[in-house]
Amino acid sequence: MNLDTQIYQQNPQWLERTYHKPEQSWFHRPYFKKALSWLDKKLIITFTGVRRSGKSTILRQIQYFLEEKNETENIFYFSFEKSQVKYHPEVLRDIIDWYLSFFLKKSVHMLDKKVYIFLDEIQYIPFWQDVLKSYYDQTPNIKFIISGSSSLFIKKKSLESLAGRIVEITIHPLHFSEYLTIKNLFINMDMTKIFKMQTQVLTGYFEDYLRFGQFPELVKDNYTPEQAGVYLSSIEEKIIEQDLPKLYKIERIDILKLIYEFTKAHSGQVMEYKNITNDLGIDLKTTIKYFDYLNKSYLIKFCLNKMKKAVKSARTAKKIYLVSTNLSSDDIGLKVENYVFNYLHEKGHVSFFRKGNFEVDFLLTSENILLPLEVKYQNNLEKHDYTNIIKLSQKLKLNRAFIVSKNVLAENNLEGIKIRTVPASLLEEVLTI
């Protein structure tokens, strides 16, 4: 299929203003509004995040928003994943030049109105940042809005090349509150009151969300558990067997898959690279490199032990969590811990504390606030459940802490520490740092 045909197929707005726009009626995530606040600035808007988190949908929703206020010929969209083009820098330049010179019949210097260029899954194009920079620096009338499914395409060289020219918005899997909104449940209601009146009902929805409710399409289209399993496996396979090998020369995809499956089976546990290499029979260099790939593809995240020196912390044992609880172990307690970590990770820097046999699940650092949290996903809490978090709070001279439970909602002052215990289903409602 030639380039002209591919471009016209992806830009129906040029031929018919009232064309079918399926994403227009879909749920608008907070990232949509955040992106709109940057539209009048010259900066390149960049969406990153794991596959199927909704980046392409948000791009299309922004496009539809702009079509209501602008001439449609001033809006251009191209997805590299849906195209049949070679992944080469000159192809990206050819696509942009086709739009400017052939379609608009203007050189970059002759643009007298702002044009909006959407480039979806641009990470497949090597040195894309240099191509965009060349246009960015020539005119204030091109607004680039791009996406990529891997932080591999926002590498150090990219940031250096586009320094001061780019704003990055990371798209995370759905929050529980978003899941409820898409399901049309408890809209604009006091969730604490809902919890008190319908504890088991809300907990049931929350656990369903942890299993199969963090990817927009799963929720919107009401996938069955069996269908959801196939869908989630396809995400993992696409990243491991196609995306990463395209971005890096990975010789042993089987080893990459082995490391990922090992991580899934041991998520939330304290691990050391040397022990993993011994367990799997893989050399240390390959293990470290492949874990880095998985991290940059957004499939996994690292949680380091809070030590005095950051360098020492990075070298020592770490916990590894998955980007979505939908991908993690079937154990509901581990899913809750993974969920809490992911939510905290959006709020600030997250670490854990471990010294000998003494451990506290998480320490959140955000805007000079240090907050210890423990996950105790159980119906009732005993005195010993508070021991470690009290001890660490006293050691760090902190006066408040959180415990995430299953059904306990309480506030206690224990040994001078104000401890707030909240059900995991209310965490987003209560912890808003």
Q: What per-residue confidence (pLDDT) applies to 314?
A: 54
DSSP, residue by residue, 50-107: STTSSHHHHHHHHHHHHHTTS-GGGEEEEESSSS-----HHHHHHHHHIIIIIIS---
Q: What per-residue confidence (pLDDT) applies to 17?
A: 83
Q: What per-residue confidence (pLDDT) applies to 56?
A: 95
Reduced to 3 states, what is the DSSP secondary structure of residue 167?
strand
User: For residues 81 and 13, what is the distance between their CA atoms, to the nearest angstrom?
Assistant: 20
Give every residue of the chain whose pLDDT is below 70, as ranges.
150-159, 308-315
Cβ count within 10 A of residue 149: 29
User: For residues 43 and 35, what is the distance between their CA atoms, to the nearest angstrom?
Assistant: 11
Residue-wise pLDDT tens digits, 87-117: 899 999 999 999 999 999 999 999 999 999 9
Residues of the chain with CATH 3.40.1350: 328-433
Q: What per-residue confidence (pLDDT) applies to 1?
A: 78
Token pair listed for 268: 């939330």
Long-range CB contacts for residues 98-103, cutoff 8 Å, separation at least 24: 98/3, 98/4, 98/7, 99/7, 103/7, 103/14, 103/73, 103/76
Q: Which element (helix H / strand E) includes 359? A: strand 358-366
For residues 398, 404, 407, 410, the Cα torsion angle rounded to the nearest 10 degrees is 10
Residues of the chain with CATH 3.40.50.300: 3-170
Residue-wise pLDDT tens digits, 338-364: 999 999 999 999 999 999 889 999 999
Burial 110-119 (b: 16+ CB within 10 A, else e): ebeebbbbbb
CATH ID of 3-170, from 3.40.50.300, 3.30.750.24, 3.20.20.370, 3.90.870.10: 3.40.50.300
What is the number of H-type helices and E-type strands within the chain?
A: 19, 14
CA 67-73-77 angle, to 5 degrees, is 75
User: Any idea which fold 328-433 has?
Assistant: Trna Endonuclease; Chain: A, domain 1 (3.40.1350)
CA 93-94-95 angle, to 5 degrees, is 90
Give the closest residue to 64 by CA, choosing from 77, 53, 48, 54: 77
Q: What per-residue confidence (pLDDT) applies to 335?
A: 98
Q: What is the DSSP letter of 349?
A: E
Q: What per-residue confidence (pLDDT) applies to 123?
A: 86
